[in-house]
Copies of this chain bind each other. A is one copy, B any other.
Amino acid sequence: MNVTIINIGDELLIGQVVNTNASTMSRMLIEAGMDVGETVVVGDSRDAIWQAVDAAMHSSDAVLVTGGLGPTKDDITKKLLCEYFGSELVESEVALENVRRIFAVRGFELTPVNRAQALVPKCCEVLNNDLGTAPCMWFEREGRVLVSLPGVPFEMEWLMRNRVVPKLQEAFRTETIVNKNILVQGIGESFLSDLIEPWELSLPANVKLAYLPVAGMTKLRLTAHLPHNFPLSTFHFPLKGLYELAGKYIVGEDCETLAELVHKTLTQRGLSLATAESCTGGTIASQLTAMAGASAYFKGGVVAYSNEVKESALGVKHETLEAHGAVSEETAREMAEGVRRRMNADYAIATTGIAGPDGGTKEKPVGTVWIAVSGHKGTEAALLNFPGRRRQQNIDRTVNQAFSMLIKQLCRKD
């Protein structure tokens, strides 16, 4: 079953907004057992939309269209689809009730412009949009489906998850797809691939493996293709061989990111964390606090950018900085121990390094980073030497390495 995605909007076409909808939708479709053949962005132009819709309705089983459903005059998708399917606009009871409900919640008066959002082509089925006033519309023609969704990302995502994907799965009796993520750290993708080849070759034909490298970490994604409506409780991925071969590099399962894994682990185990960041400049703290519930374990952090602050806010000794410099094992250790003690936390992470693009020396070139993790069983430090000079990449890699070191310390049995 083949899907084309069409995202409509001048703001996407001119690059004012990055089109995250396409990747979100693709991921959701592929995880649900459908293939995406092409994604297209067009502006708010009648001809461009018509042409893209028509081409896709000839080449795909299903066409998903986002955008162009707001009440303003720029938004023309609904009228165009009405004409394309040879229908007429009628007021939908379901859509009107939804608009009324949302306006009541917000305490606003319903204006004629807003009421017009309940007008839909007579030939479509309205899929209720619990989060917004723009309707989601399902059209069928000669065994092919077109679904029109609002372009607002959180409305689109909710509708995809709760309305569109399940209905497509039923309509096309797609396979049942199960995914599992395994986070691997500390080994390059090609070495990992060689190491786990025997296990990979032993996987059943309906299980596929993908390597997704992100910022110095590899996410292994296993995907099982099972028959339509297969009972999930009876299925398990064969992971024993993987752990036997590469267990020491595996840091976790069932998370999208290492930050999420840290978040879950600390929350479940009731342990607290503090951070002392120099080269990562607050990125570790911001990634953790971006997740609701971080206050359960995150005490706080210090962004110790200047040496002065490393001394005053973390208690790094002046002699340490003098003798070894800010980018050194000794400083990293004192930063981690200092913040752990001062914030009264179970664990602490510290980073100090040269993110680039400039600021390196012969002894400590750009990409030299020390990380320390301090916990009940002591403090560990690691030296990283990143090859590149790109600042954001070096920051992101440092963050992932730091999370990985923390997870390993948290999981250690001894």
Which A residues fall within an 8 A CB radius of B?
12-20, 22-28, 30, 36-43, 48, 52, 154, 210, 212, 274-275, 277, 280-286, 288-290, 292, 294-295, 298-306, 308-309, 312-313, 342-344, 356-359, 390-392, 395
Whole-angstrom distance from the CB of A137 to the nearest CB of chain B? 23
CA of A214 to CA of B2, assembled, Å? 35
Question: Residue A18 contacts which of B18, B38, B43, B356 (CB distance < 8 angstroms)?
Answer: B18
A253, chain B: closest CB distance, angstroms: 19
Q: A308 is contacted by which of B283, B284, B344 (Cβ under 8 Å)?
A: B344
Residue contacts A-B, CB under 8 angstroms, 22 given: A13-B26, A14-B26, A14-B27, A15-B23, A15-B25, A16-B23, A16-B27, A18-B19, A19-B22, A37-B43, A38-B41, A38-B48, A154-B390, A275-B303, A281-B290, A285-B285, A285-B303, A292-B356, A298-B305, A300-B304, A300-B313, A308-B344
Q: Provide the main secondary structure of the chain A interface.
A: mixed
- Contact present for B301 and A282 (CB under 8 Å): yes
Residues of B with C-beta under 8 A to A17? 23
Report the copy number of this chain in the oligomer.
Answer: 2
Given contacts A14-B26, A18-B20, A274-B309, 13 further A-B contacts (CB under 8 A): A16-B210, A154-B390, A275-B303, A277-B285, A282-B283, A282-B286, A282-B289, A283-B290, A290-B391, A294-B305, A298-B306, A299-B309, A302-B303
Alpha-carbon distance A391/B14, docked complex (angstroms)? 28
A302 contact set on B, CB distance < 8 A = 300-303, 313
Flag if B308 contacts A299 (CB, 8 Å): yes
> A338 CB to closest chain B CB, in angstroms?
11
Report the minimum CB–CB distance from A223 to chain B (whole Å). Answer: 11
Give the 6 A-B CB pairs with smallest separation, nearest first: A281-B289, A282-B285, A282-B282, A15-B26, A300-B309, A15-B23
B38 in contact with A52 (CB, 8 Å)? yes
Chain B residues positioned under 8 Å from A277 (CB to CB): 282, 285
The chain B residue with its CB closest to the CB of A45 is B37
A143 and B315 alpha carbons, distance in the complex (Å): 68
In whole Å, how far is A187's beta carbon from the nearest beta carbon of chain B? Answer: 20
| Interface-central residue, A13, A25, A277, A280, by most chain B CB under 10 Å | A13
A283 in complex: contacting residue of B24, B210, B274, B286, CB < 8 Å: B286
Q: Is A290 within 8 A of B212, CB to CB?
A: no
Q: Of B38, B212, B282, which is within 8 A of A303 by CB?
A: B282
* Nearest neighbor of A275 in chain B, beta-carbon distance: B303
CA distance A239 to B218 in the complex (A): 50
Q: Which residues of B contact A39 (CB under 8 A)?
A: 12-13, 19, 40-41
In the complex, are the beta carbons of B305 and A299 less than 8 A apart? yes
Task: Give chain B residues whose Cβ lies under 8 Å from the Cβ of A212.
Answer: 16
Interchain CB contact (< 8 A) of A13 among B36, B295, B344: B36
Expressed in whole angstroms, the Cα–Cα distance for A182 and B48 within the complex equals 31
Q: Nearest residue in B to A221 (C-beta to C-beta)?
A: B16
Smallest beta-carbon distance A238→chain B, Å? 23
Query: A195 → chain B, closest Cβ, in Å?
Result: 20
> Assuming the A-B contacts A288-B281, A289-B282, A302-B301, are A22 and B26 also in contact, with contact meaning beta carbons closer than 8 angstroms in the complex?
no
| B40 pairs with A14, CB closer than 8 A | no
| CB closest chain-B residue, reference A29 | B15
In the bound assembly, the distance between CA atoms of A48 and B52 in angstroms comes to: 15
